[in-house]
Amino acid sequence: MGKVQVYQEPNRETRVQIQESVRGKDVFIIQTVSKDVNTTIMELLIMVYACKTSCAKSIIGVIPYFPYSKQCKMRKRGSIVSKLLASMMCKAGLTHLITMDLHQKEIQGFFNIPVDNLRASPFLLQYIQEEIPDYRNAVIVAKSPASAKRAQSFAERLRLGIAVIHGEAQDAESDLVDGRHSPPMVRSVAAIHPSLEIPMLIPKEKPPITVVGDVGGRIAIIVDDIIDDVDSFLAAAETLKERGAYKIFVMATHGLLSSDAPRLIEESAIDEVVVTNTIPHEIQKLQCPKIKTVDISMILSEAIRRIHNGESMSYLFRNIGLDD
């Protein structure tokens, strides 16, 4: 365990001082994401750069939850922030990254260094088998079609059925305020060229909420990668209760549980929320006894040991498919 001093100046600038020699050494920087995510990122970048300028042999970042991972696609006039963050880490001097369950696996391509994207699913599957007595009467639920692949992976490994909730409210992305419907410079498209007619895409119409699959008299286990804003999970739980599910579990790798999430979960139809300890959530557990934690430190420590000793990482990815 190395010695380092991290603190903020009175003007809120972050200062990092490495208090022992790292010259020629493999340095592993473990950084979990707190509520102040931007300060956390700056601490990491400054620490990586400090190790680089101190002639460390290699600098491996161990970031169980990769921040800004939801912002990995271009949306209107936004930006791909996770690509920006990846570039900043590489520029600072990171030589290897260990993380867990990236929101999109394609984020690995944003880095020009090796990335090991570990999986928490073996630990969550073990929890289901050991802590849910009647799990054979369960059905794995995807709260939206987007998470159906993850649900299918869980269902196939547990030999259970699958259900998909379709028609739930998605993130609102109105086109009316971003300029796409503003008047064109010319009177009509045809005025540019008489033969040019650009067909307009038919707008989406959200269907009523339906559940594809039978959940009546079953235990419903909703699986996802991140639990942050819990509104969609609460809506899914209410729908499953209406369809006859008698017990509802929610399982995810990263439990951000922002804002009033603990209170909302406590008052909801959800019986238990199971997350790993990639993000500290002790306070949320005190506020809501329904929140349970699965420890994944074992796989992170084994990854660190293997990288330091130059051993293969393939053992940690055994039985992992392309869709996992």
Residue type, 132: I
Residues 292/119, Cβ–Cβ less than 8 Å: no
Q: How far apart are the C-alpha atoms of 40 and 38, rounded to whole Å? A: 5
pLDDT at 134 over 50: yes
What percent of the chain clears pLDDT 70, i.e. is strictly above it? 90
Q: How far apart are the C-alpha atoms of 262 and 287, rounded to whole Å? A: 6
Q: Is domain 121-169+209-294 classified as CATH 3.40.50.2020?
A: yes
Beta bridge partners of 294: 276
pLDDT at 179 over 60: no
Give the pLDDT band of residue 319 (cuts 50, 70, 90).
confident
Predicted TM-score (pTM) of this structure: 0.87
pLDDT at 282 over 50: yes
pLDDT of residue 200: 77
Q: What fold does the segment set 4-119+298-317 form as a domain?
A: Rossmann fold (3.40.50)
pLDDT of residue 187: 53
Q: What is the mean pLDDT of the chain?
A: 89
Beta bridge partners of 24: none
Q: Would you say the CATH fold of 121-169+209-294 matches that of 4-119+298-317? A: yes
What is the domain partition of the chain in residue ranges?
4-119+298-317, 121-169+209-294
